[in-house]
Amino acid sequence: MTKTLRTGDGTILYYSNTDGVNKLHNWDGPAFIPQGNMKLAEYYIYGIQYTKEDWIDRKRDTNGLPWFKTAIGKTVGARV
């Protein structure tokens, strides 16, 4: 679950607690927005920083069919 932290100077942080460690993380947009300035926004997934283009590619890779609905799942003899 992603949580939001807003500081007094307008900085917005989106983070997730993974194994007791808070890591910057946001699938929906930038995880770090310094002083509310979107031009300086930084993109993170589970604490790893990405450029905006790489972040879009990573986000695009999460969508798709489950293994049992693909042609490979049906040729192996998966029980559905």
Domain count, the chain: 1
Residue 51's domain comprises 2-69
Query: Alpha-carbon distance 80 to 55, whole Å?
Result: 33
Domain presence at residue 76: no
> Across the chain, how many H-helices and E-strands are there?
2, 6
Residue 58 lies in a domain: yes
Q: What is the pTM of this model?
A: 0.72
pLDDT in 10s for each residue of the chain, 80 residues: 889 999 999 999 999 998 889 999 998 999 999 998 999 999 999 999 999 999 998 887 766 666 666 665 555 555 55
Counting Cβ atoms within 10 Å, is residue 33 exposed (0-12), middle (13-18) or buried (19+)?
buried
User: Rounded to 5, what percent of the chain is helix, strand, coil?
Assistant: 30, 30, 40
The answer to whether residue 17 sits within a structural domain is yes
